[in-house]
Structure 1
Amino acid sequence: MKSSIIALLLFLSMFSYAQIRFENSGIKVDSLSTPRGQNYLVINPYQKAMAFTEEIQGSPSEALIYFSGNRTNNDEKWEVLTFPDWLGEKGMLSPIGFTPFGIYYSQVTFDKGVYNGKVFFVSEGNKEEVNIPFFKNKAPIQSGCLSKDGRYMILSMESNNTYGVEDLYIVKQKSDGTWDRAKNLGYQLNTEYQEVTPFLAEDNRTLFFATNGRGGQGSFDLFYTVRQDESWRNWSEPVNLGSQINTSGSETSFAFVDGSEWAYYVSSQDSDGYGDIMRIKFKEEIEEDTTRIEQPAVTVEKPAEKSSIITLKVVDAKTGEVLPAELIKAEEKQIGANGTFEIDSLTGEEVELKSPGYLPKVIILDEQLKIGENTVALSSVAKGSVITLDHVLFHRGTANMIDGSQKELNLVVEVMNDNPDIKILLKGHTDNTGDPVRNIQLSEARVKTVKEYIIAQGVSPYRVSGKGYGGNEPIASNETEETRKLNRRVEFEVVED
């Protein structure tokens, strides 16, 4: 542990505007925690107030947010606002951040099988929806934070251009007070798993967040990163906050007020609900960002080179041979006999690329694409082909698929519908940690989950078989977490075409 803390301090010392260290370990704040469980915590930087979400029984009421009084912990008295989570049945509310005049919060509702996220602002009892152009969240949860100066909102949500499930997005306030569209913070932060509960320090560069996509002590761990430029897509390598905070449970919602000796967060370790509020003593030196909106060199991003052409070239994943293909965008189709397509603007939309006899692929028209040629490799579904489903993911230690995994399985269903003679063998694999018998059982359970989903989409059960191999067929070393995660996979083999 000592070496990890030293490494953290060495990393932070490279940035004069961000230094932090912890003393001892986190302790539960009994006066703020209840058996109903707390999560999505934010702190009011203007007064001794805190807001968080609690599990609420029953149906949503008109009293969406309620003042739950002053709670005293030793010499600290907190004014508390509580937001309800209706146990995933009807939706949830979660605070985003305070201004001197009110509070921003998220709302997710569930209607006709679809989740819908929104952002609201409440001031003196008046509620209004925040207009964020093209805003869309498809996940059952939505969390976020507001910078102290009110210029930036960072949201965790699942939109059309996520790298996996919930990603982190930046929403900037314009000089006229309106909000720009949400932009993904990029692959340096976001993984194929979940990134949630962001907290932006007063320097507007130092970002804390929780993720289950980078290994660590347990389920969700808290991490720390520093923005490197004004693009909001270039970040230092995220650093785990270490075992003083992170446990084998789930840690989220790290937050503090500049100048305070205590930081607060939420942990599910030994919790009666889905989280208790913890605090940990720390010392930080994070300078406030003194730039202002009127300074375009700081706040205005360089405009995209709209005249530059981006080319997509579809090739065979093994041979590199160019494939005749089609590009499907919304309801429109483009045919590329030579396997190439020209894109004149990055809209953040998803497009599907497909070629006869190959598993289709969905890509996002965003800043990951470079000016010039971009290769899109498709895998053949000829007999004997083995294809790993990289984005079919499960909650750790369970056979429960993470929301969003269905996207790739829908492509498997599509290729089976297009090629009605294909039969596949699903293969489930784990790493070699833990009980080998349990690993085989887990891999078999995951294969069963995938098989049931494919069959539920109308594919004949006679065309889909499956087997769990546990950790017996690794494709990478099991020595480190980075390589072990490659062994935790679901793949399919084409056994008849």
Structure 2
Amino acid sequence: MKSSIIIFFVLLSQFTHAQIAFEEAGITVDSLNTPNGQNYLVINPYQPGMAFTEERGGMPQTGEAYRSEKIAIDNQQWEVLVFSDWLSEKGMVSPIGFTPFGIFYSQVSFDKGLYSGKVLFSSSGKAEVVDIPYFRNKAPIQSGCLSKDGKYMILSIESNHSYGVEDLYVVERETDGSWGKVKNLGHQLNTVFQEVTPFLAEDNRTLFFATNGRGGEGSFDLFYTVRQDESWRNWSKPVNLGPKVNTSGAETSFGYQDGSKWAYYVSSQDSDGYGDIMKVKFREDIEEDTTTIVAPEPVVIEPIEENQRILLKVVDAKTDEVLPAELLTESGKRIGANGLFEIDSLTGEEVEVKSQGYLPKMIMLDEQLKTGENVISLSSIAKGNVITLDHVLFHRGTANMVEGSEKELNLVVEVMNDNPDIKILLKGHTDNTGDPVKNVQLSEERVKTVKEYIILQGISPYRVSGRGYGGNQPLYSNETEETRKLNRRVEFEVVED
């Protein structure tokens, strides 16, 4: 397919960059921490103050989503807003960011089996829903940050165009004070796993966030990256904050006041699932932004040549044999009899690739697809085949699935509905750390969780069995967290077709 494209060249003369160094390991802020646990920490950039969510706080007793307390931190009186996590009741709330006049915060509600999120602004005791075009969050948690100048909001949500579960998105404030539509920050930051608790430094370019999709010291690690242009999709390679901050547990919610020697974050190093607020002494070197933007001039590019097309090629994962396939998009179904699909535009849409007798796969139509041929491998559901469910994840040390794992399980349900004769054996695996007996028990509990989910979707329990193997069948070395993570997996074997 040939088409003419008009683009605008923008010249950037120099990019802001950051150097972050920590002088010592993080320490707990005892005056803030309680047995209830803390999460979703946000720092007030205007005065000594912060907000966070109390993880087992229960339902608020008043109409307010939070309470205000005066707490001494570092010989100063801080105003602390404490939100209540009432996820077990009807939903959850978490702070996003302060303005001189109030605070933005997230709220996620659960109704009729579905989660839905929204953003609110609270001022003088009154809360109003913020109108954000095309905003949608279908995950049970939602977090975010507000730039100090109030021009940008970075949100962690699972939307229609997310790469996996929670992704990072930007929302820009328009000149009339309204908010624009949500925009995904792209594959250079977002992974198929979770990106949460963003913090945007005062330069509006240096971004801190937590993810469980890039390896590191533990389950969630903190990283930072620098925006390279005005597109909000071009970022420097994320840098791990290192062992003085990140531990074998989960670290999230990094933030600081500009000019402060202390940064604050949340850590659950003991892996009990509940966080403590920590502080760490650091040095920050964020250079002055000397970006120069040249007035854009339209440039017409010649029609795309044949060798610049973007193709999807669907093949068998084991044999590389080309498969007849379907591409299911929002606009309808496309058939690829020869296993090839030509992509005419990168819409950012998530689509399903499907072939009879194979487990379907979800992919994004975005810039991850390269010019030329892109191979999509599907796994056969023939008897005896073992298929790893790469995106079915669990919170560390528990049988609780990470939000968004249902997406891949729904594909298993779909293929079982399409093939009513097949039966599967679920196999649960852990890494080899800890007590081997407890690891087997944990893997069995995780298999039970997955089995129950599949049965709840209408699949007969006689078609689904399961077994936990603990750490006895590793696929990779257990020497590093990066490879241990790959050994913590759920598979299914087709035992009858």
Kept in 2, the 8 Å contact 1:312–1:373? The answer is yes
CA-CA distance at 1:43 after TM superposition: 1.8
CA-CA distance at 1:385 after TM superposition: 2.1
CA-CA distance at 1:107 after TM superposition: 1.6
**1:409 maps to which residue?**
409
CA distance in structure 2 between the partners assigned to 1:35 and 1:484 by the alignment = 30
Q: Which amino acid aligns with 1:264?
A: Y
CA distance in structure 2 between the partners assigned to 1:36 and 1:306 by the alignment = 61
- TM-score if structure 2 supplies the norm length? 0.85
CA distance in structure 1 between the partners assigned to 2:272 and 2:473 by the alignment = 39
Q: Does 1:44 align with 2:39?
A: no
Q: Does 1:163 align with 2:163?
A: yes
Q: Which runs of 5+ in 2 are unaligned?
A: 1-14
CA distance in structure 1 between the partners assigned to 2:407 and 2:254 by the alignment = 31
- State the identity %: 75
**2:379 maps to which residue?**
379
1:433/1:279 CA distance change after superposition, 3 Å = closer
CA distance in structure 2 between the partners assigned to 1:372 and 1:270 by the alignment = 47
1:478/1:380 CA distance change after superposition, 3 Å = same
Q: Does 1:22 align with 2:15?
A: no
CA distance in structure 1 between the partners assigned to 2:138 and 2:17 by the alignment = 36
CA distance in structure 2 between the partners assigned to 1:87 and 1:238 by the alignment = 31
Q: Which amino acid aligns with 1:414?
A: E
CA distance in structure 2 between the partners assigned to 1:303 and 1:453 by the alignment = 52
**2:363 maps to which residue?**
363
1:76/1:130 CA distance change after superposition, 3 Å = same
CA distance in structure 1 between the partners assigned to 2:204 and 2:301 by the alignment = 23
SS at match of 2:26: strand
Q: Does 1:460 align with 2:460?
A: yes
CA distance in structure 1 between the partners assigned to 2:48 and 2:385 by the alignment = 61
1:288/1:60 CA distance change after superposition, 3 Å = farther
CA-CA distance at 1:491 after TM superposition: 1.7
CA distance in structure 2 between the partners assigned to 1:143 and 1:479 by the alignment = 33
**Where in structure 2 are the equivalents of 1:228-307 lying within 5 Å?**
228-269=228-269, 274-287=274-287, 289=289
Q: Does 1:419 align with 2:419?
A: yes
CA-CA distance at 1:435 after TM superposition: 3.1
CA-CA distance at 1:150 after TM superposition: 2.2
CA-CA distance at 1:251 after TM superposition: 2.6
SS at match of 2:107: strand
Number of residue pairs the alignment of both structures matches: 479
**2:203 maps to which residue?**
203
Alpha-carbon deviations, 1:232-290, whole Å to 9, x = none? 33434433323333344433211111111221222345799933332222222224547
Kept in 1, the 8 Å contact 2:225–2:237? The answer is yes
**1:56 maps to which residue?**
57
Kept in 2, the 8 Å contact 1:92–1:141? The answer is yes
CA distance in structure 1 between the partners assigned to 2:309 and 2:76 by the alignment = 58
The range that moved more, 138-147 or 461-470, is 461-470
Kept in 2, the 8 Å contact 1:20–1:284? The answer is yes
SS at match of 2:358: coil
The range that moved more, 346-355 or 153-162, is 346-355
CA-CA distance at 1:371 after TM superposition: 4.5
**2:148 maps to which residue?**
148
CA distance in structure 1 between the partners assigned to 2:275 and 2:469 by the alignment = 35
Alpha-carbon deviations, 1:76-107, whole Å to 9, x = none? 12122333322432222222122334332212
CA-CA distance at 1:199 after TM superposition: 0.9
**2:82 maps to which residue?**
82
1:290/1:443 CA distance change after superposition, 3 Å = same
**1:314 maps to which residue?**
314
The range that moved more, 308-317 or 207-216, is 308-317
CA-CA distance at 1:56 after TM superposition: 3.2
SS at match of 2:32: coil
**Where in structure 2 are the equivalents of 1:86-235 lying within 5 Å?**
86-124=86-124, 127-235=127-235
SS at match of 2:245: coil
SS at match of 1:379: strand
- TM-score if structure 1 supplies the norm length? 0.85
Kept in 2, the 8 Å contact 1:311–1:340? The answer is yes
Alpha-carbon deviations, 1:463-483, whole Å to 9, x = none? 333333333333223333323
CA distance in structure 1 between the partners assigned to 2:72 and 2:467 by the alignment = 56
Alpha-carbon deviations, 1:192-225, whole Å to 9, x = none? 3322211111222222222233444444332233
Alpha-carbon deviations, 1:383-406, whole Å to 9, x = none? 232221111111222222222212
CA-CA distance at 1:145 after TM superposition: 0.9
**1:11 maps to which residue?**
none
Q: Which amino acid aligns with 2:443?
A: S
Root-mean-square deviation (CA, aligned residues, Å) is 3.3
1:454/1:65 CA distance change after superposition, 3 Å = closer
CA distance in structure 2 between the partners assigned to 1:315 and 1:248 by the alignment = 38
**2:5 maps to which residue?**
none
CA-CA distance at 1:137 after TM superposition: 0.7
Kept in 2, the 8 Å contact 1:56–1:87? The answer is no
**1:341 maps to which residue?**
341
CA-CA distance at 1:427 after TM superposition: 2.2
Q: Which amino acid aligns with 1:286?
A: I
CA-CA distance at 1:324 after TM superposition: 2.0
CA distance in structure 2 between the partners assigned to 1:278 and 1:395 by the alignment = 21
CA distance in structure 1 between the partners assigned to 2:71 and 2:464 by the alignment = 57
CA distance in structure 2 between the partners assigned to 1:397 and 1:297 by the alignment = 54
Q: Which amino acid aligns with 1:397?
A: G
Kept in 2, the 8 Å contact 1:256–1:264? The answer is yes
Kept in 2, the 8 Å contact 1:430–1:487? The answer is yes
Q: Which runs of 5+ in 1 are unaligned?
A: 1-14
1:384/1:303 CA distance change after superposition, 3 Å = farther
Kept in 2, the 8 Å contact 1:37–1:272? The answer is no
**2:4 maps to which residue?**
none
Kept in 1, the 8 Å contact 2:96–2:144? The answer is yes
CA distance in structure 2 between the partners assigned to 1:99 and 1:304 by the alignment = 44
**1:12 maps to which residue?**
none
SS at match of 2:39: strand
1:112/1:46 CA distance change after superposition, 3 Å = same
